[in-house]
A and B are shown apart, each in its own frame.
Chain A
């Protein structure tokens, strides 16, 4: 009897505990790390990683995305897409207010997409060129009319590409110099409170947030800690609760992840979908020779690179997409598994003449994003040496790297691109011949020109039927993978380290660049 009773008590207690697990609790402070310190937190004018991380809590887009890239409601409650794919009608949420108390209306959306974003952001400007007209039939409805169908159109409506900004503050001003950029006003779950430069950025709960009962948290601190080892220590000592990928070296992640009450996840990168690549300037000899590029690709032991340099986070990539990308087709890709003999044979076949066993001496410019990328570059350098390509290592700062990469002043450089949830958005830009220099580091800086590939990407963007798109993108992947206009290093995986008491931290495709309205801490 006694045993039965205790069993009953135990089961009740377990039930209560389970209940406690499931029911979000209100209150609490979440301590995060933002690094490097962002130049601004006004998400409309700048979308660098740290800006997006902080800004996405203050500003919102019309939609966000589930991990499978299905659009989910945000400022838009619902939407209709006409059968011809030309008319997108968004129905906005009721009772949304800006942080300064002004009501949010369809006029803000029309202003954001009609004037603000085309001025502030080249990617959105490019997509808006496809739009014939934006109109607002009433306060709660916005209609986009396209010139021709564009399959990736919904992608621009997330908070980082389609930041909705207040018309009453920005209309008729210089958006880059508006003093309001210092005190951002958004519709998001958290309001800007204080920025102590070099120390922290403090956001507080938006009590008038449009979603009832949210956000659960009282405040967010984004701590600014310049050194990776100090960030690891801050996490160990409990000063911060979440580390983003890149905040600490990947090799440290495994150690921190083994701590009591700490979890590690690689989820939340389905939207950005980062792909590490090695840009090879096909304008320069001998990189114009596909056999040389294939040889380089075969000469890299991607498994070793991922394990030794990237702490085991990542998967080999042999083509322009990752397994997270819609329409990824591994069947059609050339298998660039490590094969040094094949690499050497390809160099011999290439027709490039060798002098004393050296086919060429090229500049190698590693991405200046910390030690990990330096090791990556050193590894590539050694492997190139094996196949008879000598390299001079060029060290540059970030600004110099961006300048040289976007203007084509390099032979070989390491890089990574965000594939952004749809091949019509983030994949094609790296291979289309009309998107070469001075168009950002993810553009076709390699100078690859293939009319067939151009046609396929144009066709894929216009086509709405998923079956047809699969055919188009499979063919594109097959051609590009064989041609190797860039050398794909690996599908990057960014581990997020966080305390297990934090719930619903990463639930959507943008991951930590979500508004955090649903995040709660178990007390």
Chain B
């Protein structure tokens, strides 16, 4: 583990990503301390520009504090990003592991199902799902998870297909381990490193999908989110550019942080892969 940490500390992009991410998480966690008031509250005069006294990022059309929205929005964006990624990884790992370990007709059925989901453009499917189940926090997390699991499933399956032929798996089988035991404690730990890398990137994608949904008015209107702020500011863009630009910047920084972090993980966990891509 210390070896892992040392190598990660040596990865510059990974460290930048990690620091940004920690800052974002801290910001999200301390939202209620930084801005204890409701972010929807009308706090000042409408359309104040950034750096007006008391309003770091200015105010929007209804006089709501943009900075409060950014901080509280971070909580929603990260929460939705992590929750939907965890769900997607859960489904993806189970499907991929079962398909890869058993192969044969089980593999065929599961992979056709995976391809079915992969052939539909994921953002379109997410829109349809949210529209059908009416926009709420749960339906948005579910929709993002539903469109995100197939790549994980395919990745895990590929790992399993190659690992199940290895000697240590054969030894476990001969040693009388149960199938579940072999899958969970023998193969899975060895298949996890690419999954972890992909997961960090998936959080970024999930945040982008959620922002897109909110932008289109399919977010949960009971919570403030960055995508909603951009969508609401869009009609004002010629009068108050910061209403769209600042939450846009927030999404950009978050997604960048996750990507850098993912790159760092990849460097550490798949040294051969990253070296070969570098040359």
Contact = CB atoms under 8 A, between A and B. Distances in A.
A251 B239 contact: yes
A229 to B, nearest CB: 8
Interface stretch (B34-42, B143-151, B159-167): B34-42
B122 interface: no
A378 B62 contact: yes
A385 B38 contact: yes
Contact of B46 (A249, A255, A308): A308
Interface in B98-150: 131, 134-135
Contacts of B218: 395
Contacts of B131: 397
A255 B63 contact: no
A375 B232 contact: yes
Contacts, number: 53
B235 interface: yes
B61 A375 contact: yes
B232 A382 contact: no
* Residue of B221, B232, B239 with highest tally of chain A CB at under 10 A: B221
Contact of A374 (B217, B220, B236): B217
Contacts of A371: 231-232, 234-235
A6 interface: no
Interface in B173-225: 217-218, 220-222
B232 A308 contact: no
Interface in B219-278: 220-222, 231-232, 234-239
Contacts of A229: 234-235, 237
A252 interface: yes
Interface of A: 228-229, 249, 251-252, 255, 308-309, 371-372, 374-375, 378-379, 381-382, 385, 392-397
Given A395-B134, A395-B217, A375 B40 contact: no
A397 B63 CA distance: 27
A395 B62 contact: no
B66 to A, nearest CB: 14
B3 to A, nearest CB: 50
A385 B40 CA distance: 10
Contacts of A374: 217, 221, 232
A252 B62 CA distance: 16
A13 to B, nearest CB: 40
B62 A379 contact: yes
B135 A395 contact: yes
A395 B221 contact: yes
A459 to B, nearest CB: 43
A382 B46 contact: no
14 contacts: A228-B235, A229-B235, A252-B238, A371-B231, A371-B235, A375-B61, A375-B62, A382-B41, A385-B38, A393-B221, A395-B134, A395-B221, A396-B134, A397-B131
Interface of B: 38, 40-42, 46, 61-63, 131, 134-135, 217-218, 220-222, 231-232, 234-239
A224 B182 CA distance: 62
A146 to B, nearest CB: 47
A309 B62 contact: yes
A255 B240 CA distance: 13
Contact of A255 (B62, B135, B238): B238
B40 A251 contact: no
Given A375-B61, A375-B232, A395-B134, 6 more contacts: A229-B235, A255-B239, A308-B61, A309-B62, A395-B218, A395-B221
B217 A392 contact: no
A382 B62 CA distance: 10
A228 B234 CA distance: 10
A371 B62 CA distance: 12
Contacts of A395: 134-135, 217-218, 221
B235 A251 contact: yes
Given A308-B63, A309-B61, A251 B38 contact: no
A349 to B, nearest CB: 26
B206 to A, nearest CB: 20
Given A382-B41, A393-B221, A395-B221, A249 B62 contact: no
B235 A249 contact: yes
B40 A378 contact: yes
B40 A382 contact: yes
A229 B235 CA distance: 7
A381 B40 contact: yes
Nearest to A376: B62
A228 B46 CA distance: 22
A363 to B, nearest CB: 11
Nearest to A392: B222
Q: Give 4 closest A-B pairs by Cβ, nearest first.
A: A393-B221, A249-B235, A371-B235, A308-B46
Contacts of A381: 40
Contacts of B235: 228-229, 249, 251, 371-372
Contacts of B234: 229, 371
- Point out which of A251, A374, A395 has the most chain B C-beta atoms below 10 A from its C-beta: A395
B225 to A, nearest CB: 13
Contact of A393 (B46, B222, B231): B222
A379 B40 CA distance: 9
Nearest to B233: A371
Contacts of A397: 131
A382 B42 contact: yes
Contacts of B217: 374, 395
Contacts of B62: 308-309, 375, 378-379, 382
Contacts of B40: 378, 381-382
A200 B41 CA distance: 43
Contacts of A378: 40, 62, 221
Contacts of B61: 308-309, 375
A179 to B, nearest CB: 33
Contacts of A249: 235-236
B203 to A, nearest CB: 25
A379 B61 CA distance: 10
A396 B61 CA distance: 23
Nearest to A371: B235
A394 B38 CA distance: 19
A396 B136 CA distance: 12
Nearest to B130: A395
Contacts of B220: 393
Q: Which of A251, A252, A309, A392 has the most CB of B within 10 A?
A: A251
Contacts of B46: 308
Contacts of A382: 38, 40-42, 62
Contacts of A308: 46, 61-63
A229 B239 CA distance: 12
Nearest to A250: B235
Nearest to B40: A382
B135 A251 contact: no
Most buried by A among B46, B62, B135, B218: B62
Contact of A251 (B42, B63, B236): B236
Contacts of A393: 220-222
A251 to B, nearest CB: 6
A382 B234 CA distance: 22
Interface-central residue, B41, B222, B236, B239, by most chain A CB under 10 Å:
B222
